Amino acid sequence: MKKLFPILMLSIAANLSAQKPAIAKIDSIVKSKVSSNEPGLFVGIVKDGEILYESYQGLASLQHKVKISENSRSNIASTAKQFTALMILNLALEEKLNLEDDIRKYLPKLYPKVQTKIKIRHLLNHTSGIRDFYDLMSIQQDPWWRKEGLDNNDVIELLQKQQDLAFTPGSRYMYSNSGYTLLTKIISVVSEQDFHKYSERFFKNIGLKNTSFLKNYMYVIPNQALPYSDWGDGIWQQYPMVTNLYGDGFLFTTLKDQLRFEKSLQNAFHNNNVLLIKSQEPIPNSEITTYGFGLELENRLGRKAIHHSGGTGSYHSQTVRFPNEKLSVFVMSNNSRLWSGAIADEIAKILLPVKEIKDNYDNRIRSISNNIPKSQLIGQYLSPGDYLIRIEEKGGKLVWRNGNNNPIELQEKQKNLYEIAQNQKLKVGFFKDKMILFYQNGKTRVYKKMLQESITLSDLESYAGQYYSEELNVDFTIKYDKNKLSISLSGWDNEHELEVLNRNELLVFDYILKVKRDRFDRVVAILLTTNRVLNNKFLKKTELKFQPKIQVDQGSINVTTIGSRNGESSQILLTKNYANGNEIWSKQFGGKSYDKANSIIATEDGYLIIGSTSSYGKGNYDMFVVKTDKKGNKVWQRTYGDFYNEYGYSAEKTTAGYLIKGTIQKCSSNSDIVNRDCTTNVWYVAIDNNGEELSNTILEEITPE
């Protein structure tokens, strides 16, 4: 052992000597990022279990010209998630909780209508389906940074109002800060301690003596590096931080503490530290392996890596670990002009051995068809995550559009094979019914081509109305006027024009509005998606119309119900109108009782009116269909139904004729009106071109609006 120690020391010394040129280059880069009178930058490197580099540049306080130092504490934002996750893992190893536990075991007021288990591990790796509270507040037009004193209890109160999830837990990944806010509450419940007290003791136990979560924004944080932003005018301003959030971020720490932690991680196997070893691995039983205990586990710079970034206001940070090379780079800053992630990568590239990355594209890249015309590549494609991608032509070149983002140019490599202009290693191949995004490492993403439906006048009018989210207590209104749709949302100063992407998807700013229809093709809700909020439901509260109007060459065909003067009957009125609304001709249909129209569709030789009647048929109301020619003359009329109430609402063309959609009523008694039980179900009736019934199907029970 005595002989081994000098040899080991000589080896370390030789390694440090070999690193000197690289360290000099890194030091030059770091010092070039900020001047001595700008907000600061912290950079540290740990290699082979020892601190290789440590740098403090710039100011912690511009007001008082206080320099960044080893005692300065900065907010590492979401890079803090690994520590919240570490506490959960520690409690699991102590068998005080199980990662497979449903979170409602500890938080029983959450999502009472959700039957699927929401497991603790789902919170850890963002697969729970719980929407991000920051974006929920943005939809409310009341962003987090404006809410003085906002704390974790306020967040949980907001989440308790949410009735459903964005997706089934475990079925997909969507980053959500909400999960980590809930984890802090679980830690408190399980440990039977205030979270801050538990976390302070935990940090001391792992050797982080100057690390703590924010408790109250008014409290003094010793040696705090204050956050500064330059809003583009060259003037530094201190970023306002008036909330009391913690757990998902808002962890104040020193570079010394973080480098101490990186050393512990690199030496974990040598010290048999099970907690730290497991914290760097995928979560057991998880459906995904690309995100673990508050850490991203995807490759970085072409190598196996464990990493995470964070950004809150002007604060930001990045930790990157390359376990095979035993290299860790940590960067944090209180300067909004910088980005820690880019700096960390720039530094890591200097220290990592040069590695040639070989092309390993999926074999399907070789089977791309070259006989599809360029014009057929243009269109809409659906991603695996249900996002709409548009391929458009701009200036003779194809571009990729995602939501309201700037178009990304596609550069043609060969017929129907393109490269992403900003990253030529990403290839886009077009096939007859899909396009595939090819990654250099062999991964692919398949996008299904969508059939493009034409947008009708009735479609545009059907979007109009007021929509309300009970979960957020927010509403918005869509208006239709002069072939344009506009939207106004609570908190907006002005209306804004809506872009119609297709029949069931609208777009305004970064809000994607997916149209939901009922069994009768009525617009009944809109699912709003923005950033980290997926499919937030807004129910339509007004103008729940069917299709009473269709567009024709000279104007429109309209169907409506008109009552008699004494109110004892009603009839169906069919009119053809000019575009300005003036009537060209009109026709009436019905009998001596009540006849009602709900919608109309165009046929090859005329029109089909769908409604209900008590003038004809077998019962109180029967489903009523009238076929006319192009001039509105009746060709035939039919009723469908039985003793109780059957209503017709809408129709669609089929190969055999038409499918009429409506409702049918069934009751337990024909005579006992007081005590009988009745149900109303969706009812589809298939008819031929002459109105003869082919079949009928009773679907789910419904309460019509």
Give 198-214 pLDDT, tens digit per residue: 999 999 999 999 999 99
**Interatomic CA distance for residues 500 and 484, integer angstroms:** 9
pLDDT of residue 477: 97
pLDDT at 457: 85
Q: Minimal CA–CA distance to 472: which of 455, 460, 489?
A: 489
Q: Answer yes or no: are the C-beta atoms of 379 and 449 closer than 8 Å.
A: yes
What count of other Cβ atoms lies within 10 Å of the Cβ of residue 670? 10
Nearest Cα residue to 25 out of 37, 43, 9: 43
Instruction: Using the predicted structure, report yes or no on whether residue 691 has a pLDDT greater than 80.
Output: yes
User: Token pair of 665, please?
Assistant: 């009523």
For the cut 70, the answer to whether the pLDDT of residue 689 exceeds it is yes
Helices and strands in the chain: count of H runs, count of E runs: 12, 41
Across residues 418-428, what is the average pLDDT?
A: 94
Higher model confidence: residue 70 or residue 458? Answer: 70
Q: What angle do CA 31, 37, 40 make, to 5 degrees?
A: 55
- Distance, in Å, from the CA atom of 79 to the CA atom of 252, rounded to the nearest integer, reads 11
d(Cα 375, Cα 353) in Å, to the nearest integer?
A: 46
Distance spanning both ends of the chain, measured CA to CA: 85
Q: Would the pLDDT of 140 be above 60? A: yes
- pLDDT category at 243 given cuts 50, 70, 90 is very high
Residue 279: is it exposed, middle or buried by C-beta count within 10 angstroms (0-12/13-18/19+)?
buried
445 bridge partner residues: 437
Range scoring the smallest mean pLDDT among 442-446, 457-461, 537-541 = 457-461
Q: For residue 604, give the 3-state DSSP assignment.
A: coil
pLDDT at 3 over 70: no
User: What three-state secondary structure class fits 162?
Assistant: coil
The residue among 13 and 233 whose pLDDT is bigger is 233
List the domains of the chain with CATH numbers.
33-351 (3.40.710.10), 363-449 (2.40.128.50), 457-540 (2.40.128.50), 549-701 (no CATH)
pLDDT of residue 427: 96
Whether 332 and 324 have beta carbons less than 8 Å apart is answered as no
**Looking at residue 674, what is its pLDDT?**
78
Residue 661 in contact with residue 648, Cβ under 8 Å?
yes
For residues 674 and 100, which has the higher predicted lDDT (pLDDT)? Answer: 100
- Which pLDDT score is estimated for 704? 44
pLDDT of 16: 55
Contact indicator for 79, 317 with CB cutoff of 8 Å: yes
- Closest to 623 measured CA to CA, from 597, 600, 656: 597
pLDDT (0 to 100) of residue 668: 83
Predicted local confidence at residue 408, as pLDDT: 95
Closest listed residue to residue 77, CA positions, set 252, 244, 231, 195: 252
- In degrees and rounded to multiples of 5, residue 311 shows phi and psi of -155, 120
pLDDT of residue 8: 45
- pLDDT, mean over the chain: 93
Q: What pTM was estimated for this model as a whole?
A: 0.89
DSSP string, 54-120: EEEESEEETTTTEEP-TT-BEE-GGGGHHHHHHHHHHHHHTTSS-TTSBGGGT-TTS-TT--S--BH
pLDDT in tens, 244-267: 999 999 999 999 999 999 999 999
Which amino acid is it at 257?
D
Average pLDDT over residues 402-421: 93
pLDDT of residue 456: 86
6 pLDDT above the threshold of 90: no
